[in-house]
Amino acid sequence: MGVLRDRRSEFEAAGVATYAASRDSPYSHTAWRETLDLDFPLLSDWNAEAVRAFGVAQTFDGFVDTPVRSAFLIGPDGIIRGAWRYETTEVPDFDELLAAARSL
């Protein structure tokens, strides 16, 4: 999330609003925001509705409906224009995501 924070201005220049989402509680998001000095919204998918709706739910380490690490580019019309999946240990390729955003 630190890379997203550090490169947020590039995404904004491309007309992209940045968000992060997780199954964590809103309370833990407060701690994440403070610890990492994040300046973009963290969305809590506490009930896993988004994980299931975006098709990224998995069972991981015995926990149901945990998300696959993913990134989505959603146009102003609400249509998903790009979707990327990553391994748990992978960091998203922000150059690739930024290029996709600029191409819209």
User: What average pLDDT does the segment 30-57 reach?
Assistant: 94
- The Cα–Cα gap between 91 and 70 comes to 10
Q: Which residue has the tokens 């199954």?
A: 23
Q: Provide the token pair at 81.
A: 């224009």
pLDDT above 90: residue 74: yes
Name the average pLDDT for the chain: 93
* Domain locations along the chain: 2-94
* CB proximity list for 87: less than 8 A, separation 6 or greater: 69
**pTM assigned to the model:** 0.86
Given the structure tokens 């309370």, which residue do they identify?
Answer: 27
Please check whether residue 85 is in contact with residue 70, taking contact to mean a CB–CB distance below 8 angstroms.
yes
Counting residues of the chain whose pLDDT is more than 70, the rounded percentage is 100
The listed CATH number (1.20.120.160, 3.60.21.10, 2.30.40.10, 3.40.30.10) that belongs to domain 2-94? 3.40.30.10
